[in-house]
């Protein structure tokens, strides 16, 4: 089992151990284990570890089709989970939208300022003047009690059924590309219309994040599920790594946020 770590990054060991503990819990207790909201890279790790395990299966749900952050449910193979098992709820922010403009960043900051770590809530959705976000059902009361203001604006939170979720303004364009290596600088220069030298400059100046963490190593090796953001160029994600060509280039399917 220790060999499993060689397939992932050293800084992911703690999360891998957590997933292995979840798997063991399900095997030993014959009951399900529900995660917090995981980012795409973490979801990829869970799928890789659990795989086609004979006794433990997994499901994923983030409140709506196309969610980026999702809760994962590990469960015994004889169970058939439903969406309700993911204990996911929807809150909408009511604020004086005629006089105030609220941003995704402000909502994110305000949620974290009341003591919520990023894994404790899901996607934040913005459409025109409407803003919604996904939370664990068990935290509805806490969030309603603590979040009374965003920026200088007083707000109210209204719980809605998941079928009233707004369509996110985010739209991902999928495309295939090839890169000479899975290095961060090579992928940036392939996904965006910039030279490899420009990509290296962005990375070295702390303007690039992988999975929401700043990375300053141009040789950082990317993997499936990674979400990459470069200041001034937007966000992209590696959907799949499809293998190598006859010329030893890597074939990737990527999503680019429009």
Share of the chain above pLDDT 90, in %: 84
Domain CATH for 119: 3.30.70.330
Is the domain of 62 the same as that of 94? no
Judged against a pLDDT cut of 90, whether residue 240 lies above it is answered with yes
Answer yes or no: are the C-beta atoms of 88 and 71 closer than 8 Å.
yes
91-110 mean pLDDT: 94
* Structure confidence at residue 51 (pLDDT): 86
In a shared domain, residues 121 and 67 = no
Of 134, 164, 194, the position where a domain reaches its end is 164
| Mean pLDDT of the 166-170 span | 71
pLDDT of residue 237: 94
pLDDT of residue 7: 84
User: What pLDDT, in 10s, does the model give residues 65-100?
Assistant: 889 999 999 999 999 999 999 999 999 999 999 999
DSSP state string for 107-164: HHHHHHHTT--GGGS--EEEETTEEEEEEEGGGHHHHHHH--EETTEE-EEEEE-GGG
Q: CATH number of the domain that 39 lies in?
A: 3.30.1370.160
What pLDDT shows up at residue 66?
87
CA-CA distance, 147 to 185, in Å (whole number)? Answer: 40
Residue 168 token pair: 């996110």
- pLDDT at 123 > cutoff 60: yes
The 10 Å Cβ neighbour count of residue 173 is: 10
Which structural domain range is residue 19 located in?
Answer: 2-85
Return the pLDDT at 114: 97
Domain count, the chain: 3
For residue 62, the model assigns a pLDDT of 96
- 25 and 55, same structural domain? yes
Is residue 152 domain-shared with residue 179, that is, in the same domain? no
> Please, what is the average pLDDT of the chain?
93
Residues 6+ apart with CB under 8 A from 241: 182, 223, 224, 250, 251, 252
Tell me the two tokens of residue 68: 């980026």
Q: What is the pLDDT of residues 173-210, one digit of tens each?
A: 999 999 999 999 999 999 998 999 999 999 999 999 99
What is the average pLDDT across 110-129? 95
From CA 122, how far away is CA 139, in angstroms rounded?
12
Residues 188 and 244 in one domain: yes
pTM score, whole prediction: 0.85
d(CA 152, CA 245): 54
Are 191 and 216 members of one domain?
yes
Q: Domain with 199 in it: what CATH number?
A: 3.10.290.10
Residues 209, 221 within the same domain: yes
Q: 79 and 16 in one domain?
A: yes
Residue 169 clears pLDDT 90, i.e. is over it: no
Q: What percent of the chain has pLDDT over 70?
A: 97
Q: What is the pLDDT of residues 12-57, one digit of tens each?
A: 999 999 999 999 999 999 999 999 999 999 999 999 999 866 789 9
Q: Do residues 55 and 16 share a domain?
A: yes
Q: Are residues 236 and 183 in the same domain?
A: yes
Please tell me the predicted confidence (pLDDT) of residue 52: 66
**CA atoms of 55 and 76, how far apart (whole Å):** 6
DSSP for 166-213, please give it.
PPPS--EEEEEEEESSSBHHHHHHHHSS--HHHHHHHHHTT-EEETTE
């Amino acid at each position: 089992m220790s060999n499993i770590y060689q397939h992932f990054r050293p800084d992911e060991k703690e999360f891998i151990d957590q997933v292995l503990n979840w798997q063991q819990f399900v095997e030993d207790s014959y009951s399900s284990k529900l995660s917090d909201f995981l980012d795409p890279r973490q979801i990829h790790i869970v799928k890789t570890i659990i795989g086609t395990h004979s006794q433990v299966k997994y499901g994923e749900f983030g409140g709506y089709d196309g969610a980026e952050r999702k809760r994962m449910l590990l469960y015994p193979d004889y169970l058939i989970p439903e969406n309700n098992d993911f204990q996911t709820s929807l809150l909408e922010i009511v604020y004086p939208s005629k006089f105030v403009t609220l941003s995704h960043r402000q909502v994110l900051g305000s949620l974290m300022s009341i003591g919520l770590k990023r894994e404790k809530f899901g996607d934040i959705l913005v459409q025109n003047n409407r803003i919604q976000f996904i939370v664990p059902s068990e935290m509805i009361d806490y969030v309603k009690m603590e979040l009374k203001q965003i920026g200088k604006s007083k707000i109210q939170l209204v719980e809605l059924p998941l079928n009233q979720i707004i369509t996110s303004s985010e739209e991902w364009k999928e495309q295939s590309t090839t890169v000479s290596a899975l290095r961060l600088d090579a992928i940036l220069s392939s996904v965006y219309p910039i030279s490899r030298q420009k990509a290296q400059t962005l990375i070295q100046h702390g303007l690039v994040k992988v999975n929401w963490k700043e990375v300053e190593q141009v040789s950082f090796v990317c993997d499936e599920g990674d979400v990459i953001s470069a200041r001034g160029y937007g966000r992209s994600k590696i959907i799949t790594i499809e293998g190598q060509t006859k010329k030893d280039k890597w074939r990737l399917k990527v999503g680019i946020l429009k």
